[in-house]
Amino acid sequence: MANQITDANLQEVLDNNLLVVMDFWAEWCGPCRMVAPIVDELAEEYSGKVFIGKVNVDDNNDAVEKYGIRNIPTILFIKNGEIVDKKVGAATKADLKAKIDAML
């Protein structure tokens, strides 16, 4: 299961030394519901190697504003505090795995 990222714990998440994968989503978003189980599976598969979490855009305005999120789902790949890649819209597990593996 993916970690919950909130405005309150965002800086703590960014301060860890792992690759951070953030899924910006909302409950009312159909494509977000399609991506959610994939993100949860990846969080289990990469546990301890990659920090994978979800940011609910309805509850975390600071994080949404910080990263300029305009469309969901948006998945950010952050390394050393910097965005190194981004995927907007629904994605396959293979696509996300390839991006993560390339950054490890």
Structural domains of the chain, with CATH: 3-103 (3.40.30.10)
Q: Residues 42, 47, 50, 51: is their CA dihedral positive or negative?
A: positive
Catalytic residue numbers?
29, 32
DSSP string, 55-98: EETTT-HHHHHHHT--SSSEEEEEETTEEEEEEES---HHHHHH
- DSSP SS3 for 39: helix
Q: With bands split at pLDDT 50, 70 and 90, how would you rate the model's confidence at 34?
A: very high
- Per-residue burial over 62-73, b = 16 or more CB atoms within 10 Å of its CB, e = otherwise: ebbeebebeebb
**Structural contact between residues 56 and 23, judged by C-beta atoms closer than 8 angstroms:** no
Give the residue carrying structure tokens 């714990």: 9
Interval 38-82: pLDDT, tens: 999 999 999 999 999 999 999 999 999 999 999 999 999 999 989
> Model pTM?
0.95
